[in-house]
Amino acid sequence: MFCLALLGLFIYSCDGEDGRDGVDGQNGVDGVDGSDGMDGADGEDGEDLTIEPTIFEDKSDTPPLVAMSPQFNFVDAYSVVSTPDVIGGDFQLAGSADGAGFLVDGDEYIYVVNCEDSYAVARIRFDASLNPISGDYLLNSGVADFARQCSATMWEADIHGGAMDLFLSASESINYDVKGIDPRASTPTPDADFGLDALGEFSWENAVPLPQGAYSGSTVIIGGDDDSSDSEGQVTLYYSDSGDADFDTGKIYVLQLKQVSDGAGGVMDAMADTSYSEADLDFGVEYDVEFVEIPNGKDFTKEEMEAACNAAFASRFMRVEDVDYQKGADTNARNVFFAVTGRGPGRGTYNDWGTIYSLVLDESSPLTGKLTQIVSGNTDTNNADGNLSLLQSPDNICVTENFIYIQEDPNSFDRGHSAYIYQTDLGGNNAKVVLEFVVRQDLAEDSSTGFSGEYGALTDISDKIGVDNTFLLALQPHYWRNDDFQSLDGHDNSAFFEDNQASQIVLLKGLPR
């Protein structure tokens, strides 16, 4: 007990008294800031940014009025010219651009295009990068034989023969000739007479010359007669064996079937002195045909030509539209294709929705050959044997070495979609939608429009600009109207009719040919 008490006393006495707090130390003196360093020398200016000119970009303020389909997402579209664009300070493109041709001119290019409902032919000059730099009119509505100038073909001396290029512009209505216009004229005479009378008077949709190598020493021009009355539509042929650029002394012929359907999927000989039509043909069946002469046809009026076609028992098609031939070797050019637009359902005709034909001309003569219907929209009407149920009113066509491009015009009748362009092979198989016409209601006067638009020429310019798979496409946006678009050809035709539509030219990059 004593020991524990002593130990507790010892432990308690180990806690010493708390010491006093020490005096706080003084703060040290702040250091002096160092001197700023000297500015480095200015760097040298770099070179100015230079943007190289390019072909493939929009040249117009209006975006392209086409939309590529998903199956052709590898193709690009660029707007090149639209009617509101002012080119070279004083030129605007008139409305309803249709048939066209494209030429090289030194380091520049010339594009000639029909303005269908303005009764005019425009010429646009492009620089090396396809920038539009000037324009004028080779034909205006002041000409005595003004007409709706529809499709067209550029006769090129290097391809077709002769000493000069010539723009063959087809007159469909009001007046009925093919006009041959110098595309390189230094001083245009837009109200001159350009009629090629020897080709005859038809409701010309196009007049397509074959290359000089197709029939050496001869001039062969195949045409489409866009008519649904009297003798109806004809496939025409102008033929001269007096040289490869004879527009004066040739003869006029129209197509006649030598064979027709036997009604059971077979073929039988056509009866003499009998008129046949598309109703007498089966889809996909080949028939012998020939071209029969219209004697003195160059002297006939349009009405007299109708009577002469009836007298010759010419075969009838429901409005023959555009014509083209296979490109590549000269022998390919004997493979001719043409579009028949049809009349629309409920009209009581033999072709409601439209058809495409292959016409293979014989090697020895363009006056005989074989005809096959290779595309038809008549899947549920007429013969009900068609192969393309979407097709509505095929109008223009473009044939390359490997493909057919079929362009629609649904303004008279439609299947519930705006105008398509289809691609098929040369047999009319594997049809695919390439692109669709864009219908912009914001550009319509009343902000509401149907499927009001169609295509003009699809022109392959690949070889001329040195870039494969490049095309120019003319557009007719019928819904886009403005009175500022009237009389752009330099002549006021309001005493008869003055159109106020717009046009657009689109560049397509990557479209297979």
Model pLDDT for residues 205-231, shown as the tens digit of each residue? 999 999 999 999 999 999 999 999 999
Q: Predicted confidence band at 440 (pLDDT cuts at 50, 70, 90)?
A: very high
Closest CA to 402 of 424, 386, 380: 424
Burial class (CB in 10 A: 0-12, 13-18, 19+), 269: exposed
Distance (Å, whole) CA 100 – CA 122:
9
Residue 27, pLDDT > 70, answer: no
Instruction: Note whether 373 and 380 are within 8 A (CB).
Output: no
Provide the percentage of residues in the chain whose pLDDT is more than 90: 88
| Residue written as token pair 């046009």 | 503
Q: Predicted confidence band at 41 (pLDDT cuts at 50, 70, 90)?
A: low
pLDDT tens digits, one per residue of 161-183 = 999 999 999 999 999 999 999 99
Residue 17, pLDDT > 50, answer: no
> Cα dihedral sign for 191, 252, 365, 268?
positive
Average pLDDT rounded to a whole number, residues 226-252:
96
pLDDT at res. 449: 83
CA distances to 105, 155, 452 from 186, in Å: 12, 18, 37
Helix (H, G, I), strand (E, B) or coil at 219: strand
The number of folded domains in the chain is 1
Residue 482, pLDDT > 50, answer: yes
Q: How far apart are the first and last CA of the chain?
A: 121
Average pLDDT rounded to a whole number, residues 451-462:
96
pTM, rounded to two decimals: 0.90
Residue type present at position 220: V
Q: Which residues neighbour 306 within 8 Å (Cβ) at sequence distance 6 or greater?
A: 227, 229, 230, 231
Distance (Å, whole) CA 191 – CA 490:
11
| 481 domain-assigned | yes
CA Rg value for the chain: 36
Q: What single DSSP character describes residue 483?
A: G
Q: Which residues on neighbouring strands pair with residue 105, listed in sequence order?
A: 108
Burial 46-65 (b: 16+ CB within 10 A, else e): eeeeeeeeebeeebbebebb
Residue 241, pLDDT > 90, answer: yes
Instruction: Note whether 100 and 457 are within 8 A (CB).
Output: yes
pLDDT at res. 34: 54
Distance (Å, whole) CA 470 – CA 463:
9
| 333 domain-assigned | yes
| 116 domain-assigned | yes
pLDDT at res. 14: 39
Instruction: Note whether 214 and 220 are within 8 A (CB).
Output: yes
Q: Which two tokens stand for residue 265?
A: 């999927």
Average pLDDT rounded to a whole number, residues 305-329:
98
pLDDT, greater one: 446 or 323:
323
| 48 domain-assigned | no
| 27 domain-assigned | no
Helix (H, G, I), strand (E, B) or coil at 77: strand
Residue 309, pLDDT > 70, answer: yes
pLDDT tens digits, one per residue of 51-65 = 678 999 999 999 999
| 43 domain-assigned | no
pLDDT tens digits, one per residue of 266-306 = 999 999 999 999 999 999 999 999 999 999 999 999 999 99
Distance (Å, whole) CA 223 – CA 320:
9
Length of the chain: 513
Closest CA to 225 of 148, 172, 278: 172
Burial 86-125 (b: 16+ CB within 10 A, else e): ebeeebbbbbbbbbbbbbeeeeebbbbbbbbbbbbbbbbb
pLDDT at res. 139: 98
| 33 domain-assigned | no
Distance (Å, whole) CA 119 – CA 194:
13
pLDDT at res. 491: 97
Distance (Å, whole) CA 393 – CA 352:
8
Closest CA to 201 of 230, 242, 171, 159: 171
| 8 domain-assigned | no
Q: Predicted confidence band at 477 (pLDDT cuts at 50, 70, 90)?
A: very high
The CATH code of the domain that includes 429 is 2.120.10.30
Residue 505, pLDDT > 60, answer: yes
Half-sphere exposure of 398 (CA within 13 A, CB side): 26
Burial class (CB in 10 A: 0-12, 13-18, 19+), 43: exposed
> What average pLDDT does the chain have?
92
Closest CA to 244 of 217, 211, 209: 217
Q: What single DSSP character describes residue 238?
A: E
Distance (Å, whole) CA 107 – CA 127:
7
Distance (Å, whole) CA 256 – CA 270:
10
State the residue range of the domain holding 239.
65-509
Average pLDDT rounded to a whole number, residues 492-509:
97
Residue 28, pLDDT > 70, answer: no
Residue 313, pLDDT > 50, answer: yes
Average pLDDT rounded to a whole number, residues 311-338:
97
Q: Which two tokens stand for residue 8?
A: 């507790």
Closest CA to 149 of 138, 165, 163, 158: 138
Q: Predicted confidence band at 13 (pLDDT cuts at 50, 70, 90)?
A: very low
pLDDT tens digits, one per residue of 416-436 = 999 999 999 999 999 999 999
